[in-house]
Every structure is written in C-alpha cells, then in structure tokens.
Amino acid sequence: MTATRRRQAAWVALLAALVLGAAALPVLLTGRQPDGRPLDPAGTSLDGGAALARLLEAHGVRVVRAKTPDAAVSAAGPFTLLLVTEASFLDRGAAGRLAAAFGDRLVVGSVPYLDVLAPGVRKDGPAHTRSRAPECALREAVRAGSAYTGGTSYVGPPGSTGCYPAGDGHTLVRYTAGGHTVTVLGDASFMTNLRLAEDGNAALALNLAGARPTLVWLTEPDDPVQAAGGADGEARSLGELIPDGVKWAVFQLALAVAVVALWRGRRLGPVVVERLPVAVRASETVEGRGRLYRSRRARDRAALALRAAAADRLAPRLGLPRTATAQEVAVAAAARTGRDPAPVVTLLCGPPPGDDAALVALAAHLDTLERQVRDS
C-alpha cells in the first residue's frame, strides 16, 4: 500500500467516524425513555417522581398528571393543589393562567416566571442543597423534621412563613394571597425517587403535596416547542427560537459556499473543442441485416444465402467452374462423398426451411457436407 493510499484510507476512516458520530449524537441526546422523565408522577428513573405519586395514592390523594398548563388549569378546582416543578414548560401567558386557576400552588425548583406564579417572593441567592433543619413553626415542616433542601433561597412577602433557612432567606416560603396558599421551594431533589427515602424528605413531600384531596401535577410536555406554540398567542416559531449567532453563522457559511463556488467555477483556461471522427463499425450494416432477417423470420432468404455460400465454397473443391449450378455442385458432392444424391440435392437446393429449428439444422448440415468434401 502506497503512502497516498494510506492517507486516503485515513481520510475515509475519519469521515466515517464523523458521520457515525453525527448520527449517534442526536440519538444519545434525545434517547430519553418516557419512564425517564424528571419530576414526573410516571417517572421511574432516579430523578422521576413515581415513588412520591405512589405514596400519595396510598394516602388517598388523587394524582392528576397534566401535560400542558391548559390541562392543569382545567383540572384545577377549589380542593386541588397545583404542583409546578422546574420540569414544567411555561411561558408568561401560561404562568398567568396557572396563577389565576383555582386552588393552592406548590412551586418547586427554579421555575420560570416566579414573579407571576408567586408574586411578592423574590430570590435571595443560591443555596447549597443539603439536609437542613426546619427552624420554623410550619406544621408540615416541623413534623417532617430535617429535609434535603436548598437550591435557591427566597425572601417572602410580609406575613409569609419561611423554613429551612439559608443565608438571609429561606429555602421554603409559604404565604397566602388572594385565597391561594402558595408554597415555594428552592430545590426539587427531595421529592425525587433518589432522595425520597432519605432524611425527612418523604414526610415533607407528603405533607406538602398531600395537603389537598387532589394533586394536579404539571409535567414536562411531550413536545416542548409545540406546547409553547399551541399554548397561547405569544407562540414562537422555530426560527425565533434559534439564536441570532446561528443564523448569522449560516449566512456566513452561505458566503463561504459562494466563495468556494467562485473558486471552483473559474476554469483554468478555455474548454478545448475538437472535431472528432465518426466511430461506426463497418459491420453495422451486416448486423442490421441479420436483425432484419430475424425480425421478419426471413428463413427463405437466410437459407438462400447460406446455400449459395456453401455452393460457392464447394465448387472449386469439386473441380467445378464458378458458374456451376447448385444442382451440379450437389450431385458432384454426393459423388465425392459417396452419399445418396437425393438428400444432398435437397440440402443444397431444396425448399426453404419451415421453422427456425430447421434453419439451424440446415446450417449444421451444410457445415457437415463441406467438412466431408474437404476430408474426402
């Protein structure tokens, strides 16, 4: 193998690896099973919420799984608790409708539009997620004891209750406004399948989420983009979701393609033209005539040509002049080979063959006769 070949093989291997990688990457990125949804009542993975949902059902709480904000709003009633997690997909309009819905709200994790969902609560700062003591008078927290909280610490509006303090704020803030009891937690890890069994997590989760007979659990939608688009008038197209940098980069790539086109499009000198001679085989007329015989089944003409050629070749061998008739040639050939004259005469000047098989046989018999005359 030459060096060039080896280099070519290396390039091919590199290209193949790139193609495979490009094909595998999206599969790896999007290959999440339905069971693997985070903070979902059906999610059985480590960050799912199936364990909590099972516990709640065991305590007689109906868990309604809502995939879109609209479904959650229609499922909400006076005796429901709406659970919004960081896995929920919201835009500002949807958050407003959720805030206006019936019932209490439990907002867990870094949920967007917190100012709509929990007006008055503001972020204090990040907080390390760890086991914390309640240090408050909230019954649910006190009975649960220490739990795994953190994420963000909040400062509630006046009259609110704060638990599990971190820094100047609290990682759990509860207040009542407009007839709703709103509870905000900085981190959702305490209610995942992974953490539920630790510390007082399960008790805290049950106490908070099981406060009402029905829990409406807003989960991650199947198709976030579609959910956003179909949610309200503030729908954003795919183009609006793409960052500006990507669009300009595509434009720049188009410019690069144009430059490459200019590079490849400039020929090194003119196209050279040349008058070429015809390339026709001299045998084409003969082949054409053969095909014509075949398509017309011209056995009479074909047999005539074959017989005339055989007679022409036989005449000099038999010592006859070129002008000798086929009859004379046949008689002389029969005499030379010692065959019965009648079939030889029929062979050389009989009627045309009845079908193609007879024509093939005639050609073979003529060959045999020529060979016999030659060998005699």
Partner 1 sequence: MALTGRAGLLAALAAIVVLLAPEPGLVVLAAALVLFALVAADLLLAGDVRGLRFQRDGDRRVRLGQSAAVGLVVENPGRRRVRGVLRDAWQPSAGAAVRQQALDVPPRERRRLVTTLTPVRRGDRRAVAVTVRAAGPLGLAARQRTFHVPWTVRVLPPFLSRRHLPSRLARLRELDGLHPAMVRGQGTEFDSLREYVVGDDVRSIDWRASARSNDVVVRTWRPERDRRVLIVLDTGRTSAGRVGVAPVPGSGPSGWPRLDWSMDAALLLAALAARAGDRVDFLAYDRAVRAQVAGAPRTELLSSLVNAMAPIEAELVEADAAGMVAAVLSRARRRCLVVLLTDLNAAAMREGLLPVLPSLSSRHMVVVASVADPRVADMAAGRGTPEAVYDAAAAERLRGERREITAVLRRHGVEVVDALPEEVAPALADAYLALKAAGRL
Residue 58 near partner 1 by CB under 8 A: no
- Euclidean distance between CA atoms 39 and 171, whole angstroms: 19
Task: Determine which residue in the list 62, 92, 139, 247 makes contact with partner 1, applying CB under 8 A.
Answer: 247
Task: Determine which residue in the list 278, 321, 351, 354 makes contact with partner 1, applying CB under 8 A.
Answer: 278
For partner 1, how many residues bind (rule: CB under 8 A)? 57
Q: Which two tokens stand for residue 149?
A: 């909280």
> What is the smallest separation between the CB atom of 2 and partner 1, expressed in angstroms?
19
Site for partner 1 in 286-345 (CB under 8 A): 286-287, 289-294, 298, 301-303, 305-306, 308-309, 312, 322
Residue 245 near partner 1 by CB under 8 A: yes
236: left (phi over 0), alpha (psi -120 to 50) or beta: beta
Class of residue 69 by CB neighbours under 10 A (exposed 0-12, middle 13-18, buried 19+): buried
Residue 46 near partner 1 by CB under 8 A: no
Q: Cβ neighbours of residue 190 under 8 Å, at least 6 residues apart?
A: 147, 148, 149, 196, 199, 201, 204, 205
Nearer to partner 1 by Cβ, of 17 and 259: the residue is 259
Phi (first) and psi of residue 130, to 5 degrees: -155, 180
Nearer to partner 1 by Cβ, of 236 and 297: the residue is 297
> What is the smallest separation between the CB atom of 12 and partner 1, expressed in angstroms?
20
Nearer to partner 1 by Cβ, of 242 and 342: the residue is 242
Nearer to partner 1 by Cβ, of 100 and 261: the residue is 261
Task: Determine which residue in the list 34, 139, 248, 316 makes contact with partner 1, applying CB under 8 A.
Answer: 248
Q: Which two tokens stand for residue 76?
A: 């909400």
Residue 102 near partner 1 by CB under 8 A: no
Nearer to partner 1 by Cβ, of 60 and 270: the residue is 270
Helix (H, G, I), strand (E, B) or coil at 210: coil
61: left (phi over 0), alpha (psi -120 to 50) or beta: beta
Residue in 214, 142, 148 with CA at minimum distance from that of residue 174: 142
With contacts defined by CB under 8 A, name the span among 39-47, 116-124, 154-162, 363-371 that binds partner 1.
363-371
Q: Which residues of 343-368 are buried (b: 16+ CB within 10 A; e: fewer)?
A: ebbebbbbeebeeeeebeebbebbee
Residues that bind partner 1 (CB under 8 A): 244-253, 255-256, 259-260, 262-263, 266, 268-270, 272, 274, 276-287, 289-294, 298, 301-303, 305-306, 308-309, 312, 322, 356-357, 359-360, 363-364, 367
